[in-house]
């Protein structure tokens, strides 16, 4: 029996990345385009969307951006229709969009902020996946990649809404993976560790968070913050034919944070 070399080529594929106009989402969108995919981004900021759309087109790929609020359920179906009209049927869906509400814990948790966190991280992921999977099922193939977090497995005392939502994303990933496998659809999750983005800037730059910053770096065997672009490789792998027999997993991209004891030091 010969050896079939794994292919990471995404030429001819159409990908959608939510929250694809900054941070990890932007890096994943650019990574997918670099691998040959036509990429659509769905996000709220029209100016950022336009800037990233130009970056995507610089790879020589078709690109599309739709400006919408992913917590508004009525916009999700039409948004996917807009993508298909512009680029064609969706082969890859990356559910990345999200926010972090540092409430301090459930004793001070605002109910509206709680609802918003679940709406963007969990409900939008389910609804967009349902739309995409319905089409993928007819074509007997597709990839859904969800963004989880280390807080899906560790307690998030100061961010209960974020932790609960990301834990839900992991379980939703597993449920969809089981359901959709017979149709040739793989569903997986990426769990970033501490990545240098706008969302985490306060921990890196604010002196009030210096103790937490020191603890995180001591806990991370790699000894540094991750770069958003370092999540793109995982997304390309999971979106490609190289991962055809990989489904239902949560892939950490965390410099070893998830495997190190809290007392880890260098």
Give the catalytic positions in this structure: 162
Alpha helices in the chain (DSSP H): 23-34, 46-57, 76-87, 111-118, 124-139, 160-180, 201-205, 210-219, 232-239
Rg over CA atoms, the chain: 18
Question: Rounded to an integer, what distance in angstroms lies between the CA atom of residue 121 and that of residue 250?
Answer: 16
Residue 113, Cβ density class (10 Å: 0-12 exposed, 13-18 middle, ≥19 buried): middle
Give yes or no for a contact between 162 and 105, defined as CB atoms under 8 angstroms apart: no
Question: Rounded to an integer, what distance in angstroms lies between the CA atom of residue 145 and that of residue 152?
Answer: 15
Nearest to 26 by CA among 147, 119, 137: 147
| Token pair of 264 as six digits | 């880890």
């Amino acid at each position: 029996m010969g050896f079939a070399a794994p292919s990471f080529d995404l030429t001819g594929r159409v990908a959608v990345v939510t929250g694809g106009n900054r941070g990890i989402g932007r890096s994943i969108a650019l990574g997918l385009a670099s691998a040959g995919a036509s990429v659509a981004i769905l996000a709220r900021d029209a100016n950022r969307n336009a800037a990233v759309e130009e970056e995507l087109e610089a790879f020589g790929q078709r690109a599309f951006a739709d400006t919408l609020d992913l917590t508004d359920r009525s916009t999700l179906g039409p948004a996917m229709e807009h993508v298909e009209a512009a680029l064609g049927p969706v082969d890859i869906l990356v559910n990345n969009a999200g926010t972090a509400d540092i409430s301090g814990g459930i004793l001070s948790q605002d109910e509206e902020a709680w609802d918003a966190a679940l709406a963007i991280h969990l409900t939008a992921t389910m609804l967009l996946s349902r739309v995409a999977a319905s089409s993928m099922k007819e074509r007997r193939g597709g990839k859904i990649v969800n963004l989880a977090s280390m807080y899906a497995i560790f307690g998030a005392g100061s961010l209960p809404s974020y932790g609960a939502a990301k834990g839900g994303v992991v379980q939703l990933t597993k449920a969809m993976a089981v359901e959709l496998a017979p149709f040739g659809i793989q569903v997986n999750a990426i769990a970033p560790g501490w990545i240098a983005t706008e969302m985490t800037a306060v921990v890196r730059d604010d002196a009030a968070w210096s103790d937490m910053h020191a603890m995180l770096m001591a806990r991370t065997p790699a000894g540094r913050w991750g770069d958003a672009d370092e999540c793109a490789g995982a997304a390309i792998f999971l979106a490609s034919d190289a991962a055809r027999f990989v489904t239902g997993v949560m892939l950490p991209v965390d410099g070893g944070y998830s495997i190190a004891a809290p007392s880890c030091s260098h």
